[in-house]
């Protein structure tokens, strides 16, 4: 026991308490209690601190605050006010955006419709101008032929000019040839596929035209657009353009030349193999015909370029 020297004798009382021998203790005759002049044992300080913590686990101030709050009152959430403000502002922004969208939607649709009308009007005007240009070109060619036909030298020059017109695409050409009708693969009704993999692309028409030139075609057109060495076939989104003029499906490619020889050589050319492979794998639609008489227009977009000597007026 703490506070007792090793070997010290102990005296026990009737109630089981133990005291060191020789301590001045006497019994109280009335109660039988012992009086003790021996100092009490020194208590352990750590035990006293633990007993204090158990007895007063909650500070009096915290207990009073909890009593004022009540048993069912929850602690206010931190930042709740800021969250509510953000949500309100976001809702107002959405409402304003929706109102503006509904307000400007009719104007946007009207502008879109007006733009479509203008585009169609300009396209029609462009077609009229092209037709006028072709007619004037035909007139010039006729007058030129009449003048050159009056002399032997002029006749030779006229034949040479006609050959150059065919090569340059500046004159109308007539004769037998080959007609290819190319279109996208049909939609798959079973799987619901839109046939995107079987869509004709600009490179497909480029391969076709190059194959016809290699097979010996004298002149080539796509959907009535005459092709020359300066013509560009490009893709624009899902459309194909020839010199920036959009083409509509199906794509009709016409080539003037010996029909039988042209068809056989084209089939063996890289362009012909390209198309046949697309037909077998991607199921594009391809129809090839020999035609006795084709008429290909002149290229209305051809610009005359010529060299000028230095110092010439």
Question: How does pLDDT run along the chain (313 residues), one tens digit per residue?
Answer: 444 444 444 454 444 555 454 444 444 444 444 444 444 444 455 556 666 655 655 566 666 666 666 555 555 555 677 787 888 888 888 888 887 777 777 777 888 888 888 988 988 898 888 788 878 877 887 888 888 888 888 888 888 887 887 777 777 889 999 999 999 999 765 555 556 778 999 999 999 999 999 999 999 999 999 998 888 899 987 889 998 888 999 999 999 999 999 999 999 999 999 999 999 999 999 999 999 999 998 886 666 666 666 665 5
pLDDT at residue 223, as a whole number: 93
19-to-15, 42, 47, 167 alpha-carbon distances in Å:
12, 14, 22, 136
pLDDT at residue 148, as a whole number: 84
Bond before 64 cis per omega within 30 degrees: no
pLDDT at residue 45, as a whole number: 54
Tokens found for residue 115: 């733009």
pLDDT at residue 98, as a whole number: 81
Residue closest to 166 by CA, chosen among 307, 306, 302, 305:
302
Do 257 and 178 meet the contact criterion of CB atoms below 8 Å apart?
yes
pTM above threshold 0.75: no
pLDDT at residue 65, as a whole number: 65
> Rounded to an integer, what distance in angstroms lies between the CA atom of residue 130 and that of residue 226?
12
Do 266 and 272 meet the contact criterion of CB atoms below 8 Å apart?
yes
> Rounded to an integer, what distance in angstroms lies between the CA atom of residue 240 and that of residue 242?
7
Do 256 and 295 meet the contact criterion of CB atoms below 8 Å apart?
no
Do 226 and 168 meet the contact criterion of CB atoms below 8 Å apart?
no
> Rounded to an integer, what distance in angstroms lies between the CA atom of residue 204 and that of residue 301?
23
Give the rounded distance of the alpha carbon of 124 from its chain centre. 34
């Amino acid at each position: 026991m703490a506070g007792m020297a090793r070997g010290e004798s102990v005296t026990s009382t009737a109630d089981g308490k133990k005291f060191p021998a020789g301590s001045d203790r006497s019994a109280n005759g009335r109660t039988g209690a012992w009086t003790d002049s021996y100092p009490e044992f020194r208590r352990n300080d750590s035990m006293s601190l633990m007993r204090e913590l158990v007895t007063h686990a909650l500070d009096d101030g915290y207990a009073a605050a909890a009593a004022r709050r009540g048993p069912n009152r929850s602690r206010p959430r931190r930042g709740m006010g800021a969250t509510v403000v953000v949500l309100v502002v976001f809702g107002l922004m959405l409402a304003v955006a929706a109102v503006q969208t509904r307000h400007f939607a009719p104007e946007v649709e009207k502008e879109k419709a007006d733009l479509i009308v203008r585009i169609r009007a300009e396209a029609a005007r462009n077609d009229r101008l092209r037709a006028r240009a072709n007619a004037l070109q035909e007139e010039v060619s006729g007058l030129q032929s009449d003048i050159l036909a009056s002399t032997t030298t002029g006749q030779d020059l006229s034949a040479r000019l006609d050959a150059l017109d065919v090569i340059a695409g500046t004159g109308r050409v007539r004769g037998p040839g080959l007609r290819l009708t190319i279109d996208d693969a049909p939609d798959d009704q079973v799987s619901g596929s839109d046939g995107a993999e079987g869509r004709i692309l600009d490179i497909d028409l480029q391969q076709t035209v190059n194959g016809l030139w290699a097979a010996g075609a004298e002149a080539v057109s796509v959907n009535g657009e005459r092709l020359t060495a300066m013509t560009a076939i490009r893709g624009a989104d899902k459309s194909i353009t020839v010199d920036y003029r959009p083409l509509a499906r199906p794509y009709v490619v016409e080539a003037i030349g010996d029909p039988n020889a042209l068809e056989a050589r084209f089939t063996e050319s890289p362009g012909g193999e390209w198309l046949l492979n697309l037909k077998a794998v991607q199921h594009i639609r391809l129809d090839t015909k020999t035609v006795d008489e084709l008429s290909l227009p002149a290229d209305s977009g051809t610009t005359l370029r010529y060299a000028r000597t230095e110092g010439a007026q």
